[in-house]
Structure 1
Amino acid sequence: MGRTTYEIFAGSWPKETGDFADRFNALPKYVASTSLKALDWKPSELLKGALPQAVRQLKQGSGGNIYVHGSLSVAQELLRHNLVDRVRLLSYPGAVGQGKPLFPSGEQVPLELISATQFSNGVVSLEYSAVVAKS
């Protein structure tokens, strides 16, 4: 996650309890930031060096799946460098008509639908695999 998302999450999640909160708080967290010097929400680690290289190293490890929550600029950079395997989007039954786009304007990001699940509140969860262009 990026600095802003880390600060928002670190300001609230450590105070939460329950199955999800306990699991979420225990997960390792990797933070992309050049301004943060210390992380209080444990277990957390500042990524060193360029984000794409740091994530490539994480992906080569045996730590399991890596998720990006929020952190639009982090997600966009990972997409630009073909470091995203799956994209999960939630579509809510309402439209605002504004906001920051996830995908770059005018660029195609090829995705293949894996699953679509509708919840009782009308929210639809869409999961895609990223299609890496063959060179």
Structure 2
Amino acid sequence: MGKIILTSNVTLDGVVQDPDGAEGFERGGWFHQSVGAGDLQDWTARETQEALDAEVLLLGGRTNEWFADRMTERNLAEGRVSPEWANRVRSMPKYVVSSTLEDPRWGNVTVLGGEVVKEVSELKRKVDGEILIYASYQLARTLIEHNLLDELRLVVFPVVLGTGLRFFDETSDKKPLHLVNTRKMGDGLLFYTYEFVQG
């Protein structure tokens, strides 16, 4: 059985919205505004290893589009993306939850267009290893609500936005977690790993 892991960048006050500023959120762009060179080097190394350790990616529709735009040969050639990370993400099997996606725009994609909880539960039973979710906030909230998420990995950035979308804005009940690991990355980032306590 697979282990579903959500990995995300987050501000100190829990905002996950628009880290690169591409969505037009007035307080977006906080990722690059909040990191130094050493932070980015450690962040890239962690992201790369995480992708290498995972068996598949599970993405929401908008996150799939975001990654398809960024993991291109052009961005690789221009040095905007780590080659090892990008090549791994591009080559690994990807499952995209979407009721409208017809052209995935990149390879090795299976579209999950049915009932989300059922299809993700089946994927979890089928995969042996880590199922990695990047961002995909709406999908993540659904999986948290239905107790399908096993682990949460957060890279906390040293900035407070005061407003914006958060993972945990709405849950129907308490969701206890167990702290597995914490470490500093670079000069200013913190990396936390939590497991969801399934009761």
Q: Same fold (TM over 0.5)?
A: yes
Does residue 108 (structure 1) correspond to residue 166 (structure 2)? The answer is no
Structure 2 CA distance, aligned partners of 1:120 and 1:4? 29
For residue 54 of structure 1, give the secondary structure of its aligned residue in structure 2: helix
Q: Which runs of 5+ in 2 are unaligned?
A: 1-58, 77-82
Please give the TM-score of this superposition, normalised by the length of structure 1: 0.90
1:63 shift after superposition: 4.4
Does residue 119 (structure 1) correspond to residue 185 (structure 2)? The answer is yes
Aligned residues of 1:117 and 1:126 also touching (Cα < 8 A): yes
For residue 5 of structure 1, give the secondary structure of its aligned residue in structure 2: helix
Aligned residues of 1:2 and 1:33 also touching (Cα < 8 A): yes
Does residue 6 (structure 1) correspond to residue 39 (structure 2)? The answer is no
Higher RCO (C-alpha 8 Å, min separation 6): 2
1:21 corresponding residue in structure 2: 86
For residue 11 of structure 1, give the secondary structure of its aligned residue in structure 2: helix
Letter in 2 for 1:127: T
Q: Sequence identity of aligned pairs in percent?
A: 30
1:99 corresponding residue in structure 2: 164
Structure 1 CA distance, aligned partners of 2:96 and 2:128? 16
What is the number of equivalent residue pairs in this alignment? 133
For residue 113 of structure 2, give the secondary structure of its aligned residue in structure 1: coil
Post-superposition, which runs of at least 4 consecutive aligned residues in structure 1 deviate over 4 A? none
CA-to-partner distance for each residue in 1:74-129, whole Å, 9 max, x for gaps?
Answer: 00000111100101111111111111120144642211000001112311010000
Structure 1 CA distance, aligned partners of 2:127 and 2:66? 28
Alignment of 1:36-75 (within 5 A): 36-75=101-140
Task: Tell me which moved more, 3-12 or 58-67.
Answer: 58-67
Please give the TM-score of this superposition, normalised by the length of structure 2: 0.63
Structure 2 CA distance, aligned partners of 1:21 and 1:79? 27
Structure 2 CA distance, aligned partners of 1:22 and 1:70? 19
Q: Which runs of 5+ in 1 are unaligned?
A: none
Over the residues paired in the alignment, what is the CA RMSD in angstroms? 1.5
